[in-house]
Chains A and B, each alone.
Chain A
Amino acid sequence: MKVSLRANPLYATIGVLASLFAVASFSYEGFFSLRVVANLFTDSSFLGVTALGMTVVILSKGIDLSVGSVIGFTTILVAYLVQDAGVPVPVAWGIALVIGVIFGAGMGALIVFYDLPSFLVTLGGLFFAKGMGFVISSSSIGIQNGFYDAVLDFQLQVGPGAYLGAGALAFIVFFVFCVCLLKWSRFGRYVYAVGGNEDSARLMGLPVDQVKIGVYAFNGFCSALAGILTTLYMGSGNPLTGVGMELDAIAAVVIGGTLLTGGIGGATGTLLGVLTFAVIQTILNFDGRFKPAFLRIAIAALLLGFILTQRALARGKE
C-alpha cells in the first residue's frame, strides 16, 4: 500500500510531463529535438537546485520561504565581491556558500530551539535577505571576469546543436548527489524519519534537532548555489533576482510528488517537476499567443491538481 502511494504521484508527474512534451512536439515545429531538451536543463538549472533543497525541507515536514531572497542576495554578493572588491571567483563563491549555510542553520536553530513555526521564521528570513541584498547594492552589477568567461565557454556537446552548459551540468551532478544523499546516507534516512513522524523519530533516539537544523542549513547551501548558477546564467547580480522563486520551487516539489505532509517523496520526482515547469515555460516561448501571465496560472492549476490528487491518495490510505 505504502509503495503504491509512494510511486503513484510519480507516475502522474511522468504522465503530465510526457503528454505536455508530446503535445508540444506535434504542435510546434522544432520542439522535438535534443536541443530543446538540453535547454530545458540549462534554463531550469537554478530553479532545479533550489527545488532539490526545498525537497529535503518539505520531506522533513518543514517549509522554507526565504530561498528566493537568498538567491537574490547571493547574486548581488558574488557580483559585488568579484567585480567591485576584486576577490577571486572561487573565493567569492565559497564566501557565498558559507553565508548561505550559516543563514539557513540560523533559521533552523530558531525553529528548533524556540519551537517557532517554520513558515514564520523563514518569512523573517525572506525579509532579511531581501533587505541585505539592497544593502550591498540597489542596482544590478554586471560581471566581467576571465574566470566567468571561461566557465561560460565550457559547453558539453550532447548531440547535433545541443549543448549542456556549466549550469546545466552542475544541476545534473547536484541532482545525482541529492538522490544519493536521500537514499543512502544516514542524514537522508533521518530526514524521512523526522518528516514521517517526529515523535517516533525522537523516541527512536534519532538526533531530531540536529537533523532539522541540518535540513535548513542544507537548503541555505542550495539557495546560495542556485544564486551562483544564476550569476552564471545572467552574467550579472541583482538584488531583485529570485522574487517569488520560493513559490516556483515549492510548486516543482509538489508537482514532483513529494507530499507536503512530509516523509514521502524524493529528488527524482522533483527533477521531473522542475522539467515540467521548464516545458510549460518553453511552450509559452514557442507559442507567442500566450501572455507571460499564463505561466503563473498554468503552474497554479497544475499545483492545485496535484495537491488534490495527493489528498485523494492519502485519504485512500486512511
Chain B
Amino acid sequence: MSKAAESTVSKKSLRDNPLIWPLAGLALVIAFNLVTGPEFFSVSVRDGHLYGNLVDIFSQGARVMLLALGMTLVIATGGVDLSVGAVMAIGGALAATFVTQMGYGLYVALPITLIIVGTLGFFNGAMVVFGKIQPIIATLILMVAGRGVALLITDSDVVKIQDPAFLYLGKGYILGIPFSLWLVAVIFLVMAVSIRKTALGLLIEAVGDNEHASRFSGIEAGRLKLIVYAVCGALAGLAGVLDAASVSAADPMRVGELKELDAIFAVVIGGTALTGGRFLLFGSILGAILLQALTLTLYNAGVSAAVAPVPKAIVIVGVCLLQSERFRKQITNITKFGGKAS
C-alpha cells in the first residue's frame, strides 16, 4: 500500500477505491435532502458574501478539516492523537488572551500561539518516540491536562474577542467565500504538494506500514513522528483560534469538546487505514465535509444538536464495518447466495 498502489487505483474496480465511501455517503446525504427539502441547496448572495447551507457546511467544517489533516498524518504513522480537542481549547485561549488582555497584535499573537501548541504536539510525539508509550495513552495525558491548562490561561473565564483582525479569521470573506476556507485550502495544498511531490509521503507510509523495516532501510522514524505530532498540534491550535474567532469568544471549557472524535472519524471515513500506512489527505477533507453535511442535515430535519451524536455513531461504526474484511465477506456471501463466494 503506497504511492504506486494509489496511482493505479483508478484502474482497479470502483469498490477498491477508498474515496468511494465518503463520496457514496455524501451522495446519500444529498439525495436525502433533495427529497425532504430542496431549499437545503439554495445559495444566495448577501452583501457580496455567499450564504446558505452549502456554504455553512464548508465554513463550519473548516475546523474539523484542519484537525483531520493533522490527524491523517498521525494515523498514517500508526498512531492517534486524542489531545486535539484540548489543544484547540488551549490555542483559542492563548490567542484570545494574548490579543485581548496583553494587547499584542494578531501578527504577533498568532505565531506565538502556533509555536506553543506545536510544542505541545511535539511533546506528544516525544512521549511516543522516546517514552515508547502507546499513542492513545501518551496523548490521553495532554487530553486530561489540556483543558485544565486552558482554564488556567483564561482564569476559568470566557474571553471575549473584539480585535477586528482576529475576528476576520472566523468571519471574514474573500471573493464571497469565507476566509477560513481559503486558509484550509492553502494549508491543504501546501501539505499535499510537500507530501506527494517529495518523498515525505512515502516515508510516512513506510513508517506506518512497518516501522521496524523502515528503520532498517534508513528512515528516521522517530524524527518523522515528532514532526507529524507537532504539525497535528499546530493545526489543532489553529482550529481553536478559528473557533474562537467565529464565535467572538474563547471558552476553555466548551471549545473542541469531543472534536478529537470528529477528527478521527473524518480520517477513517476518508479511507485512511487506522492501522497506519496508506493515507489520503483529500479523503479526510471529504470525510470532514460529510460529517458536517450530516450534522447540518440533522439540524434541518429537527434533530436537536444533543441527539446528533447517535446517527453519527451509527455512520461511523457502519463505515468501520464496511472496511472490515470479514464483514465484506459476509455481505458477499449473502448477496452471492449459493454462488462460489470467496
Contact = CB atoms under 8 A, between A and B. Distances in A.
Contact of B274 (A117, A130, A254, A315): A117
A247 B327 CA distance: 31
Please report whether the interface of chain A is mostly helix, strand, loop or mixed according to DSSP: helix
A154 interface: no
Interface stretch (B181-189, B202-210, B308-316): B308-316
A296 B148 contact: yes
B304 A114 contact: no
Given A134-B307, A296-B144, A303-B144, A127 B324 contact: no
Given A128-B310, A293-B156, A295-B148, A311 B133 contact: yes
Going nearest first, the 9 A-B pairs with the smallest beta carbon separation are A300-B145, A296-B148, A131-B310, A134-B306, A127-B313, A131-B309, A293-B151, A128-B313, A127-B309
Contacts of B17: none
A120 B313 contact: no
Contacts of A127: 258, 261, 309-310, 312-313, 316
B27 interface: no
B134 interface: yes
Interface of A: 63, 110, 113-117, 119-121, 123-128, 130-132, 134-135, 138, 239, 247, 250-251, 254, 260-261, 291-297, 299-301, 303-304, 307-308, 311, 315
Contact of A296 (B147, B268, B326): B147
A247 B306 contact: no
A126 B317 CA distance: 12
A120 B309 contact: no
Contacts, number: 120
Which interface residue of A247, A254, A261 has the most chain B CB atoms within 10 A? A247
B319 to A, nearest CB: 10
Which interface residue of A119, A125, A296 has the most chain B CB atoms within 10 A? A296
Interface string B130-156: 011110111011111101110110001
A127 B262 CA distance: 10
B264 interface: yes
B221 to A, nearest CB: 18
A113 B263 CA distance: 25
Nearest to A123: B261
A119 to B, nearest CB: 6
Contact of B148 (A114, A125, A128, A293): A293
B122 to A, nearest CB: 15
B321 interface: yes
B144 A260 contact: no
Contacts of A121: 317, 320
Interface of B: 80, 127, 131-134, 136-138, 140-145, 147-149, 151-152, 156, 258, 261, 264, 268, 274, 304, 306-314, 316-317, 320-321, 324-327
Contacts of A110: 317, 321
Contact of B134 (A120, A126, A260, A299): A260
Contact of A308 (B131, B142, B152): B131
A120 B274 contact: yes
Contacts of A113: 326
Contacts of B145: 296-297, 299-301
A247 B257 CA distance: 14
Contacts of B133: 307-308, 311
B313 A124 contact: yes
Contacts of B264: 120, 123
Contact of B320 (A114, A132, A293, A307): A114
A131 B317 contact: no
A314 to B, nearest CB: 9
Nearest to A118: B136
A131 B317 CA distance: 15
Given A292-B156, A303-B141, A308-B133, 20 more contacts: A120-B264, A121-B317, A123-B261, A124-B317, A125-B313, A126-B313, A128-B310, A128-B314, A134-B307, A138-B304, A250-B140, A261-B134, A291-B152, A297-B148, A299-B144, A303-B140, A303-B144, A307-B137, A311-B131, A311-B132
